[in-house]
Structure 1
Amino acid sequence: MQLRKALESELPQIWNIIQYAIEQRRKDGSKQWQDGYPNPTSIQNDYDKGYAYVMEEEGVLFAYGAVIFDIEPAYEEIEGKWLTNGPYLVVHRVAAAPEAKGKGIGTQFFKALEDLSLNKGVYSIKVDTNFDNAPMLRILKKLGYTYCGEVYFRGSARKAFEKVLLPKSE
Structure 2
Amino acid sequence: MGEESVITSERRFRRATMADLPTMLKIYEHARKLMASNGNPTQWGDKFPREEVVRDDVESQRTVLLVDTVDGEERVLAQFALCPGIDPTYVNIDGAWLDDDPYVTIHRIASSGLAKGAAKDCINWCIEHYGNVRADTHPNNKAMQHVLESNGFARCGLIQLLDRPSDTTRIAYQRHEW
TM-score by length of 1: 0.90
Give the aligned residue type for 1:78.
I
Relative to its length, the structure with more helix (as a share) is 1
CA displacement at 1:108 relative to structure 2: 0.9
CA displacement at 1:124 relative to structure 2: 1.1
Return 5+ residue gaps in structure 2 as ranges: 1-10
Identify the residue that residue 54 of structure 2 maps to in structure 1: 43
Identify the residue that residue 112 of structure 1 maps to in structure 2: 125
Identify the residue that residue 76 of structure 1 maps to in structure 2: 91
> Can you list the C-alpha shifts for 1:37-65, whole angstroms capped at 9, x where unaligned?
21211100111221111100122100010
Secondary structure of 1:99's aligned partner: coil
TM-score by length of 2: 0.86
CA displacement at 1:130 relative to structure 2: 0.3
CA displacement at 1:35 relative to structure 2: 5.2
Secondary structure of 1:44's aligned partner: helix
Please give the residue correspondences for 1:12-161 in structure 2 after superposition, counting only pairs within 5 Å. 12-30=22-40, 31-34=42-45, 36-58=47-69, 59-100=74-115, 103-117=116-130, 123-153=131-161, 154=164, 155=166, 156-161=168-173
**Percentage of identical aligned residues:** 25
Q: Where does structure 1 differ by over 4 angstroms across 4 or more consecutive aligned residues?
A: none
CA–CA separation in structure 2 for the residues paired with 1:68 and 1:7: 16
Structure possessing the higher radius of gyration over alpha carbons? 2
CA–CA separation in structure 2 for the residues paired with 1:34 and 1:7: 25
Identify the residue that residue 8 of structure 2 maps to in structure 1: none
CA–CA separation in structure 2 for the residues paired with 1:40 and 1:116: 28
Give the aligned residue type for 1:44.
R
**For the Cα contact (< 8 Å) 2:160–2:170, is it kept in 1?**
yes
C-alpha RMSD of matched pairs (Å)? 1.1
**For the Cα contact (< 8 Å) 1:84–1:124, is it kept in 2?**
no
CA–CA separation in structure 2 for the residues paired with 1:140 and 1:148: 12
**For the Cα contact (< 8 Å) 2:17–2:59, is it kept in 1?**
no
CA–CA separation in structure 2 for the residues paired with 1:13 and 1:35: 17
CA–CA separation in structure 2 for the residues paired with 1:106 and 1:35: 21
> Can you list the C-alpha shifts for 1:25-46, whole angstroms capped at 9, x where unaligned?
1111212101522121110011
Return 5+ residue gaps in structure 1 as ranges: 118-122
